[in-house]
Amino acid sequence: MRQQQPIIMFDIQAIRKDFPILSTQVYNKPLVYFDNGATTQKPQIVIDTLTEYYSGYNSNVHRGVHLLSQKATDAEEAARATVQGFINAARPEEIIFTKGTTDSINLLANAYCKAHIRPGDEIIITQMEHHSNIVPWQLAAEERGGIIKVVPLQEDGSLDMNAYKALFSPRTRIVAFTWVSNTLGTVNPVAEMVQIAHEHGCHVMVDAAQAIQHLVVDVRSMDIDFLVFSGHKIYAPTGIGVLYGKYDLLAALPPYQGGGSMIKTVSLPTGTTYAELPHRFEAGTPNIAGIIGLGAALKYVADKGIEAIAAHEHQLLEYATQQLKQIPGMRIIGEASEKSATVSFLVDGIHPFDIGELLDKQGIAVRTGHHCCQPIMDKYCIPGTVRISFAMYNTQAEIDIMIDALKRAIVMLG
C-alpha cells in the first residue's frame, strides 16, 4: 500500500478551492493538471483583480490627470513595489515590466550586447537552457561579432562545474543561465556560479522562469546582476514578465524599443532624450491588467509562504519519482541531487507523444516533446520526454491517479 506523506504546514484542500479550474472535468474525468512548467492555473483573487480593473478603473497609465488614469497608475506602481519586495530588489526602478521571460531576455541580450560586446568577446550559456535563453544571445552575438561558449551537462542532468570554471577568459563579458531547468528540474548552484563569474569580472543574468514559483529568490543576497521571469509561471496572467537589473547596470544600457513612455523629450529631425528607469525600457502601453494581476499573484504566494510551497512540492517530487521508478522500462531523464518540482521520463519502446495523448484521455494534462530544449535532447540522444511538473495545488492522490493511468497506457501501447 502506498504511504501518504504528511504535508508540512500546508492546507492543500483550502488552496485547491482557490483555483476554480481545478473543478473542471476533462473527458468526464476530474482534471489532473501536471503541466505547470508550461503555465500555472490562476487563483480566484487574480481573476477577481483582472475583473475589478476592467470593470472599475480601466484606463491608460501615467500622464493622465483624470481619476481612472491615476488609479490605474497607482495600481501598476504598487505592483512594481510588490515585485521589488518579492525578489528583494534594492529599489522599484530596478523592475522592468515586459511581455515575459522571452521578451526580457531579448531586451537584455540586445541592449547589453550593444553596450558591451565587441568582436571576439564571449558570452557563456549552458547546454540545459530553454531556447529563449539561447537564440537571443546567438542573434545578438552574431550581430556584434561575439562568441557563444557552452557549459556542458553531466549524465545526471547537473552542470559540469569544472568545465564552467574553465570557460572564462579575459574576453568573457556575461554569463546567462537558468536557475531551474524546465526539462530536468535541476536546481543550479546560483550563488556559486554568480561568485565565480564576478571573480572574473563578468556580469550574470539568471533565468528564474522555473524558480520564481518554487524557491526563495533574493537578488541582493546572491548578488545577481540581472534576473528574468514570467508571471504566468507563478499564478499570474499570461503576457506579463519582469526584467530585474541592478540600477547602475540598467541605467548604462541603451534603449531597446522606441515609442511612448520611454522618452523624456523628442525633437525633429534628431535630438530625442530618454526617460529614466524603469520607463526607458517600457515603450508603449503596458499590459496594465497583467501587471496588476502579477502583483495580486505574488501577494497570494507570499501569503501561502514560499518555503511551505517548496516543501510541499518537494514531497510531491520525491513521491512521484519513487512511484515512477517502480514501473518496468521507466527511464527518468535528469537525476541531479538538487531538483525542483519537475520529472521528465521515457518508457522503453513507447513514444512520449503516445503516452501524453492516452493520459489526456484519462483527464491528465502533461507536457510531451523537447520542451524548447533541443540541446538537452541531443545530449541524451532522445526525441523528447513526458514531463510532469507540480504546483502548490497538486496532491499525492493526483500522482496516484496518474501512475495508474500511465500503467494502463503502457499496457495499451505495449
Phi and psi angles of residue 18, each rounded to the nearest 5 degrees, phi first = -75, -10
Paired residues of 206 in beta bridges: 177, 227
CA–CA distance, 284 with 101 (Å, rounded to integer): 18
pLDDT at 299: 98
Active site residue 372: yes
The Cβ of residue 351 has, within 10 Å, a number of other Cβ atoms equal to: 15
**DSSP strand pairing (95-98 vs 122-126):** unpaired
Q: Which domains does the chain have, with CATH numbers?
A: 12-42+305-413 (3.90.1150.10), 47-303 (3.40.640.10)
- Name the nearest CA neighbour of 156 among 130, 128, 178, 194: 128
- Name the nearest CA neighbour of 159 among 130, 129, 138: 129
At 332, the amino acid letter reads I
CA–CA distance, 222 with 228 (Å, rounded to integer): 14
- Name the nearest CA neighbour of 373 among 344, 347, 348: 344
At 100 the three-state DSSP class reads: coil
Q: Dihedral (C-alpha) 335, 339, 343, 349: value to the nearest 10 degrees?
A: -10
Cell of 217: 529568490
pLDDT at 9: 60
CA–CA distance, 312 with 316 (Å, rounded to integer): 6
- 143 close to 243: Cβ distance less than 8 angstroms: no
Tell me which of 113, 372, 373, 381 is the catalytic residue.
Answer: 372
DSSP conformational letter for 327: S
Can you spell out the DSSP letters for 117-139? Answer: --TT-EEEEETT--GGGTHHHHH
pLDDT tens series, the chain, 414 aa: 344 444 446 899 999 999 999 999 999 999 999 999 999 999 999 999 999 999 999 999 998 899 999 999 999 999 999 999 999 999 999 999 999 999 999 999 999 999 999 999 999 999 999 999 999 999 999 999 999 999 999 999 999 999 999 999 999 999 999 999 999 999 999 999 999 999 999 999 999 999 999 999 999 999 999 999 999 999 999 999 999 999 999 999 999 999 988 989 999 998 899 999 999 999 999 999 999 999 999 999 999 999 999 999 999 999 999 999 999 999 999 999 999 999 999 999 999 999 999 999 999 999 999 999 999 999 999 999 999 999 999 999 999 999 999 999 999 997
CA–CA distance, 136 with 207 (Å, rounded to integer): 13
CA–CA distance, 326 with 331 (Å, rounded to integer): 11
CA–CA distance, 368 with 120 (Å, rounded to integer): 38
The Cβ of residue 379 has, within 10 Å, a number of other Cβ atoms equal to: 18
Query: H helices within 223-279, ranges in order?
Result: 247-251
Paired residues of 228 in beta bridges: 207, 243
Phi and psi angles of residue 140, each rounded to the nearest 5 degrees, phi first = -65, -40
Q: How far is CA 262 from CA 101, 228, 284, 287, in A?
A: 20, 20, 8, 15
Contacts of 44 (CB under 8 A, 6+ apart): 18, 19, 20
- Name the nearest CA neighbour of 15 among 311, 316, 298, 395: 395
User: Number of C-alpha atoms within 13 angstroms, CB side, residue 71?
Assistant: 12
CA–CA distance, 405 with 347 (Å, rounded to integer): 14
At 189, the amino acid letter reads P
Is the backbone of residue 185 left (phi > 0), alpha (psi -120 to 50) or beta? left
Contacts of 72 (CB under 8 A, 6+ apart): 53, 57, 58, 59, 60, 61, 64, 288
pLDDT at 296: 98
Paired residues of 187 in beta bridges: 180
- The model carries a pTM of 0.96
